[in-house]
Structure 1
Amino acid sequence: MLYSVIGYYSLILGLCFGLILILFSVKNFQNSKFDTKILSFTFLQFFFVVISFLCLVASFILSDFSNETVFNNSHTTKPLFYKIAGTWGNHEGSLLLWLFVLTLFILIFLLKSKNQPTKYKILTLVFQQIIIIGFFVFLIKTSNPFNFLFPTPEEGLGLNPILQDPALAIHPPILYLGYVGSSIIFSSALAATSLNLITKSWATHIKKWVLISWIFLTLGILLGSIWAYYELGWGGFWFWDPVENVSLMPWLALTTLLHCILVLEKKLILTSWVIILSISTFTLSMCGTFLVRSGILNSVHTFANDPERGLFILIFLFSLIFLSLFIFFFFHKANKDTPTSFFWLSKETSIIINNWFMMYFLSVVLIGTVYPIFLDVLSSQKISVGPPFYHKLIIPFLIPFLLVMAIGPKLKWIKSNLEDKTYLIILLLFSILLSFLIVKNFDINFLLNTILISSALYLFLITLRDFFIKKYNNISQNIAHFGFSLLILSILFNNLFSTEIITNLKVGETFKSETTKIVFEGMSHKKEKNYRSIVGNFSIQNSKGKIENMSPELRIYNQPNIVTSEADIKTTLISDIFIVINLVQNQDYFNVRYQVKPFMIWIWFSVVLISFGGLISFIKKKYEK
């Protein structure tokens, strides 16, 4: 109980320092010298949020069930690692983690911006404090993580078993670092717009924040995807689940912003794009928070809670959008020397074309995610928007996008004559020929897949060639683009060549097909601290006669009493073999799902490569010329 009292009053003190910071910043706005008291107050605010967060962690570790959040999300039999992870595996704790990162990032921003104009630093702090105070009020009024229960229960309700996983334990903090990084970009862009400071030097200054936010968001999405692949038993890496989509949307906006910032750093163009994308990225991050925490999404990931909480975030979000649009339209002044049109064959044109493609992909994901919600509200009709919707709308436009991405980096600024046409044409013809041979040997949709694989191969071969020809010139771009081309190719081959067998088997039975023999050899049991397992023992023989022994599990957790399926996955460089079992109700049969998923390891590796490209750009002192 003591930790809950300390944690709650630390939140109150953090909110007080937020209000003091805004008043003190306004008072010192006209001063030419930055007052060090502002930095001290910012540190104190961060200090009290840290104390509050550590108090919640301590309450979880000690299983203090007088705290309502601990009671609802923990249990004495839970392993220590998951007790700690349970701190942010719930609505209240995850928002406290948001607040922790928000206050940390603004403190780092002030420490790293010593050479920036004083007015710019103060105004960025004010905008960031508006966001921070909004989260303080939201936590204290609607989502207090330190509510008391009396009398104190003997035992807690436990954490959802599917959330008791190492990947998901570290997934939210990394994802939030990406989300919250976008808040600094948002506040900085509004401050720079208000003061007419959207310049090359500002782009260099804010680029680090764009990169760090982008890297963490990319890795956060990767961890969530890996978790869903092996934990949910769906046997894939992406399902267009609404909560997956709300993390993908800010990533698309942030990726576009990153390219615009790199351009702005070299030439004073695309300033409006930069401001709009800075606002959009943070808005989409907040939208994700709203959708996940309002309880209106039907997803395994969501924290279904009182819709009043979602309404608070919605009003707060609209207030921030209104403020940012007001600043953009009334304070943004286009540079008269900035060219408004470009030669059709130039680097500027290719970047703008790819920007439009990215915005189109973003729009498709946004509509597919939000439209079912509006339809439900307006007509009480429930629909589900699944993969076919996204595939039909995105895949045709992915082809020109990949071609522009392949050729764009080869163009020059202002005007280009497209040098080295010969190798570009040769690689294109080779890509078409190779994709034709791949498609011809498999019974798949001929025309579209030939063109799609050709464009993906074309980007792959060009980025691969750049490693040998350009060597260390622009290496971060080469690695990131190569990783993206590998990702698209791996996804394509994974979708086209995956196979699946779904059957019901009793112990001792065998399933046979032309290519696969599955023998259900037996069952075993094991017991852990917080669950017991039924383990299925299978031997699987493929068409080449190779036999694999696999052991998927059914886990029965003691608190809460939930049964989960744990897939057994054997990974090689070529493919994954994946098997999962489920009980068939009131029967002796088990439902068995067996899949062969080509190139899964390359999907994960390619995303790591993309992030590594961003990391190289981040640690370099000066962006490659």
Structure 2
Amino acid sequence: MIYSVVGYYALILGLISGSILIYFSIQNFRNSEILDTKILSLSFLQLFFVVVSFFGLVLSFVVSDFSNETVFSNSHTTKPLFYKITGTWGNHEGSLLLWLLVLTLFIFIFLLRTNNQSIKYKTLTTIFQQIIIIGFFIFLLKTSNPFNYLFPIPEEGLGLNPILQDPALAIHPPILYLGYVGSSIIFSSALAATTLKMVSGSWAAHIKKWTLISWIFLTLGILLGSIWAYYELGWGGFWFWDPVENVSLMPWLALTTLLHCILVLEKKSILTSWVIILSIATFTLSMCGTFLVRSGILNSVHTFANDPERGLFILIFLFVLIFISLFIFFFFHKEDQKNSINLFWLSKESAIILNNWFMMYFLSVVLIGTVYPIFLDVISSEKISVGPPFYHKLIIPFLIPFLIAMAIGPQLKWIKSNLESKKILIFLLFISILISYLIVKNFDKNLLVNTILISSAFYLFFITVRDFFTKKYKNISQTIAHFGFSLLILSILFNNLLSSEVITNLKIGQSYENSKIKITLEDVNQRSEKNYNSVVANFKIISSDGKINKMSPELRIYNQPNIVTSEADIKTSLMKDKFIVINLVQNQEYFNVRYQDKPFMLWIWVSVLLLSIGGILSFFLERKYER
């Protein structure tokens, strides 16, 4: 109980220090040419109070303090220590406290590390960031207090949702939040720079580091969530256009576009409007995701809360931030018309702008597909779900020119270009079309669409491979990231094209057989763990080439809460995954068996890692260049 009391009062002290910090920041902004040491001290003090509060909640989980309502609702004495700790952020209240921790950490690092920018800019950024931080403090204390007291004290907790008791998901939220919340610094600094009319190349170089940090963590967070969904939920795939998946994808698309705009702004004072709007949009989309996940509007395995009061608070707070942002943009920002008309049609800047429009189109499709069912439900009480066919039909036709433009763009020069190496570019396009045609011809698929789509992906792939040899270490981070993206698209395309699935019902001793595979359910075992019992089904799978695989998916029956989950067994190789999952057929001796061959799954994960490595290299190469 003592940990909860300390944690609660630390939150209140953090809110008070934030209010004092805003006062001193305003005073410093008006009167001083040097940064008041009180600002840095108060920022550290605020971070210290939030760290104390967060660890107060962690320790409450560790000791199973069921006088704390959050611990009671999300923990149990039989839960392993690791999941007691990670259960801290596996719920609505704890995850918001983690949000607050990252918000305060980022502004402290910003003040500590930003030495080459004006004092007015630093203090104004602090003011905007503190508005966000104080909003989250009030939200936590008013609607989502992680330290609510229960009396009489229960003897046992309700436990954590079993599908959240997984190592990948344990580290997924903190990494994802570093991406989400990192965009708050971009947002605050963009508003400060716009107000002070200092959106320039030097500011772009400064904010690029924060954009890269946010983008890297968001990419890795999405990757971990995708891997978790693949093996834990039993869906047998890496992406299902689930609304909460989309909520993480939208800020990523905006951040990626912003990163490319900043590259242009560093070289030439254009695209300032793009940079400001995307800086605002990225954090706005992160906040929208928070609203959708925590308001109970979305129905998903990822959602935390179902409380309209919480949703209303976030919605009002979001509208306040958007209003402030738009007011500053329209009142203070003036585009330099002289620079905006000097773009040559064949240049790197033009290619980036073209790709930006494609990215904004993809973002619009995802946004409409996510929020349209919500508005339809509100207006007409009609419930619909928007699934993969909607996204595929609208995205795939535009993906083809996007990939081609992405391949050609890096070959162009800044300001003006003549497109060098025309012959090799045409040759690689011809090779790409030929290889794609030969691959698709062997499958009973749409020959024309798949050939063109795979050709454009191969074209980007071949050009980025060529860049490794011709450009050597020049723009190595960009080359790795683009190579990773081309590998991602190819892996996804071949995964969709070559996947196969068998769904059948079997009981012990029975087999299913077709021309490609024979699946036999040999026997079933039971075993007991600390917080669950499991039923393990042992399968022998013989493929058409005579190879034998032993696979053992299981059903887990958790004791608290009493939930049954399906645990897939996955055999991973370089070329494909073998995936099998079981479910009980109600009131029968049969098991429902779903077996899948999933080609190139490993390369999907590797390609996203390469994307992240490209961002990490860019971050450290920038720092090395600065020194």
Note whether the superposition's TM-score is higher than 0.5.
yes
Q: How much does 1:240 deviate?
A: 0.2
Q: Which amino acid aligns with 2:607?
A: S
2:36 is aligned with 1:29: no
2:308 is aligned with 1:307: yes
Runs of 4+ in 1 over 6 A off after TM superposition: none
Other-structure match for 1:288: 289
Other-structure match for 2:591: 590
Q: How much does 1:115 deviate?
A: 2.2
Other-structure match for 1:530: 531
2:366 is aligned with 1:404: no
Q: Which amino acid aligns with 1:134?
A: G
Other-structure match for 1:8: 8
Does the CA-based 8 Å contact 2:271-2:340 persist in structure 1? no
- Give CA-to-partner distance per residue, 1:305-334, whole Å, 9 cap, x none: 211101100000010001000000000122
Other-structure match for 1:455: 456
Does the CA-based 8 Å contact 2:107-2:185 persist in structure 1? yes
CA distance in 1, matches of 2:446, 2:116: 58
Other-structure match for 2:214: 213
- Secondary structure in structure 2 of the residue aligned to 1:333: coil
CA distance in 2, matches of 1:346, 1:204: 21
Q: How much does 1:621 deviate?
A: 3.6
Other-structure match for 1:78: 79
Alignment of 1:171-210 (within 5 A): 171-210=172-211
Q: How much does 1:112 deviate?
A: 0.6
Other-structure match for 1:257: 258
Q: Which amino acid aligns with 1:504?
A: N
CA distance in 2, matches of 1:46, 1:445: 56
Q: Aligned residue pairs: how many?
A: 625
- Give CA-to-partner distance per residue, 1:569-589, whole Å, 9 cap, x none: 000000000000001111111
Other-structure match for 2:18: 18
Other-structure match for 1:513: 514
2:151 is aligned with 1:166: no
Does the CA-based 8 Å contact 1:575-1:601 persist in structure 2? yes
Q: Which amino acid aligns with 2:492?
A: I
Alignment of 1:42-61 (within 5 A): 42-61=43-62
Identity of paired residues, percent?
Answer: 79
- Secondary structure in structure 2 of the residue aligned to 1:350: helix
Does the CA-based 8 Å contact 1:296-1:304 persist in structure 2? no
- Secondary structure in structure 2 of the residue aligned to 1:538: strand
Other-structure match for 1:103: 104
2:97 is aligned with 1:90: no
What TM-score do the two structures reach when normalised by structure 2? 0.99
Does the CA-based 8 Å contact 1:106-1:125 persist in structure 2? yes
Other-structure match for 1:237: 238
Q: Which amino acid aligns with 2:162?
A: P
- Give CA-to-partner distance per residue, 1:33-73, whole Å, 9 cap, x none: 11111100110000000000000000000000000000000
Q: How much does 1:102 deviate?
A: 0.2
CA distance in 2, matches of 1:516, 1:109: 58
CA distance in 2, matches of 1:161, 1:340: 57
- Give CA-to-partner distance per residue, 1:326-373, whole Å, 9 cap, x none: 000000122244133522211111111100000000000000000000
CA distance in 1, matches of 2:334, 2:445: 53
Q: How much does 1:414 deviate?
A: 2.0
Q: Which amino acid aligns with 1:390?
A: Y
CA distance in 1, matches of 2:506, 2:271: 60
Does the CA-based 8 Å contact 2:295-2:308 persist in structure 1? yes
Q: RMSD over aligned Cα, in angstroms?
A: 1.0
Q: How much does 1:562 deviate?
A: 0.2
CA distance in 2, matches of 1:512, 1:341: 66
- Secondary structure in structure 1 of the residue aligned to 2:588: coil
Does the CA-based 8 Å contact 1:186-1:279 persist in structure 2? yes
- Give CA-to-partner distance per residue, 1:109-166, whole Å, 9 cap, x none: 0001122100000000000000000000000000000000001000000000000000
- Give CA-to-partner distance per residue, 1:431-463, whole Å, 9 cap, x none: 000000001111111100000000000000000
CA distance in 1, matches of 2:622, 2:189: 21
Other-structure match for 1:472: 473
CA distance in 1, matches of 2:14, 2:593: 53
Other-structure match for 1:138: 139
- Secondary structure in structure 2 of the residue aligned to 1:86: helix
- Secondary structure in structure 2 of the residue aligned to 1:4: helix
Q: How much does 1:619 deviate?
A: 0.7
Does the CA-based 8 Å contact 1:14-1:45 persist in structure 2? yes
Q: How much does 1:266 deviate?
A: 1.5
Other-structure match for 1:355: 356
Other-structure match for 1:617: 618
- Secondary structure in structure 2 of the residue aligned to 1:511: strand
- Secondary structure in structure 2 of the residue aligned to 1:64: coil
Other-structure match for 2:225: 224
CA distance in 2, matches of 1:183, 1:340: 31
Other-structure match for 1:113: 114
Does the CA-based 8 Å contact 1:68-1:146 persist in structure 2? yes
CA distance in 1, matches of 2:364, 2:588: 46
Q: Which amino acid aligns with 1:233?
A: G
- Secondary structure in structure 2 of the residue aligned to 1:147: coil
CA distance 1:446–1:336, shift in 2 (3 Å): closer
CA distance in 2, matches of 1:21, 1:339: 39
- Secondary structure in structure 2 of the residue aligned to 1:477: helix
Q: How much does 1:27 deviate?
A: 1.4
CA distance in 1, matches of 2:467, 2:621: 20
Q: Which amino acid aligns with 1:515?
A: K
- Give CA-to-partner distance per residue, 1:472-530, whole Å, 9 cap, x none: 11100000000000000000000111000000001110000110100000000111000
Does the CA-based 8 Å contact 1:473-1:624 persist in structure 2? no
Other-structure match for 1:147: 148
2:440 is aligned with 1:443: no
Q: Which amino acid aligns with 1:340?
A: I
2:605 is aligned with 1:604: yes
Gaps in structure 2 of 5+ consecutive residues: none
Deviates more, 1:610-619 or 1:30-39: 30-39
Q: How much does 1:303 deviate?
A: 1.0
CA distance in 1, matches of 2:300, 2:277: 30
CA distance in 1, matches of 2:306, 2:622: 45
- Give CA-to-partner distance per residue, 1:274-310, whole Å, 9 cap, x none: 0000000000000000000001101001013211101
Does the CA-based 8 Å contact 1:347-1:412 persist in structure 2? yes
CA distance in 1, matches of 2:591, 2:364: 42
- Secondary structure in structure 2 of the residue aligned to 1:157: coil
Alignment of 1:393-432 (within 5 A): 393-432=394-433
Q: Which amino acid aligns with 2:25?
A: S
- Secondary structure in structure 2 of the residue aligned to 1:28: helix
CA distance in 1, matches of 2:503, 2:326: 52
Q: Which amino acid aligns with 1:10?
A: A
CA distance in 2, matches of 1:476, 1:74: 43
- Give CA-to-partner distance per residue, 1:544-580, whole Å, 9 cap, x none: 0101000000000000000000000000000000000
Q: How much does 1:29 deviate?
A: 1.0
CA distance in 2, matches of 1:413, 1:100: 41
Q: How much does 1:412 deviate?
A: 1.4
CA distance in 1, matches of 2:352, 2:281: 18
Does the CA-based 8 Å contact 1:505-1:592 persist in structure 2? yes
- Give CA-to-partner distance per residue, 1:255-286, whole Å, 9 cap, x none: 00011111111211111000000000000000
Q: How much does 1:623 deviate?
A: 8.5
CA distance in 2, matches of 1:211, 1:141: 34
